[in-house]
Copies of this chain bind each other. A is one copy, B any other.
Amino acid sequence: MIIEQIKENVTFDGVTSYFEHDSEVTKTTMKFSTFVPGNRTVKNAIIWLSGLTCTEDNFITKAGAQRFLKDSNTMIICPDTSPRGLDLPCEHESYDFGSGAGFYLNATAEGYKDHYKMYDYISKDIIHILKDNFGINQFSIMGHSMGGHGALVFGLREAQLFKSVSAFSPLVNPTKCPWGQKAFKGYFEDGASALGAQYDATELTMSGKIRDDLILIDQGLGDEFLDEQLLTENYVTACKKVGQKVKVNYRKGYDHSYFYISTFIEEHISFHLNALEG
């Protein structure tokens, strides 16, 4: 795939970069950022999926992940959270649907179905770019909030593709929370019920989609979205029922912000490096 580097900054003796490329999946120009450690023998990649309103810029500038990847053979890639440059009905009217809110699914609703195919974008385009343009052959995935939902869904549905899965403040049960219900209603032609379960970590788990390895989740107890949107315990309950190993680190006082992510990013990077590099 042809990707164009639009910016690069030396960081921790490696390189933080921003790219754009034409995606056949979304039929738009898509952007992503990367950090590649300086040793240039990288063979592994962590895919970071961002949350609502974010772009390719938030994580790479705010999380401080580069510090913990600099001596590894593992890069990180941070895709944008939706197609851009379109003007679909209702696309730009709210922060939790449309632009900046792709929910890592393949839409089926009129208009959206031609572009909002973020499930394929991540599992096909991004994987192809990592393989072909960066020489990567092992993948892990993580994300935050809507992106934590994405990480769990990819980790369960593409269990063989990803060596390890972690999430900060994920929406674990989107068919049961307002953000997820609104998104699924908008993106799926016939409403949420039929397709929604395929993009719901708790539903996937209950239907037997499990991983052999432990899934790591981080959740602030001061998170303003915990009780209404994130529903962490629904997933924990499902994991117990089917025997999925999961570790949830609840963090007293921490909220939903990148200040929280920056505090615990080291643990998540270590978790993935352990899976990828042993």
Chain A contacts to B: CB under 8 angstroms: 9-13, 16, 61-62, 64, 66-67, 220, 222, 253-255, 257-260, 262-263
Contact = CB atoms under 8 A, between A and B. Distances in A.
Contact of A259 (B9, B220, B254, B259): B9
B262 A11 contact: yes
Interface core residue of A13, A64, A260 (most chain B CB under 10 Å): A64
Contacts of A255: 9-10
- Listed from nearest, the 3 A-B pairs whose CB atoms lie closest are A9-B259, A11-B259, A64-B64
Contact of A62 (B61, B253, B254): B61
A64 B9 contact: no
Contact of A10 (B11, B16, B62, B260): B260
A247 B263 CA distance: 31
Given A11-B260, A64-B64, 4 more contacts: A9-B259, A10-B255, A64-B67, A67-B262
Contacts of A253: 10
Given A61-B61, A64-B64, A67-B64, A260 B222 contact: no
For chain A, what secondary structure do more than half of its interface residues adopt (helix, strand, loop), or is it mixed? mixed
A257 B7 CA distance: 11
B64 A260 contact: no
Contacts of A64: 64, 67, 262
Contact of A11 (B12, B66, B263): B263
A13 B254 CA distance: 9
Contact of A262 (B66, B258, B259, B260): B66
A12 B258 CA distance: 12
A10 B16 CA distance: 27
Nearest to A256: B9
Contacts of A13: 263
B62 A259 contact: no
A19 to B, nearest CB: 16
A200 to B, nearest CB: 29
A262 B262 CA distance: 12
A155 B71 CA distance: 36
Contacts of A16: 259
A11 B63 CA distance: 12
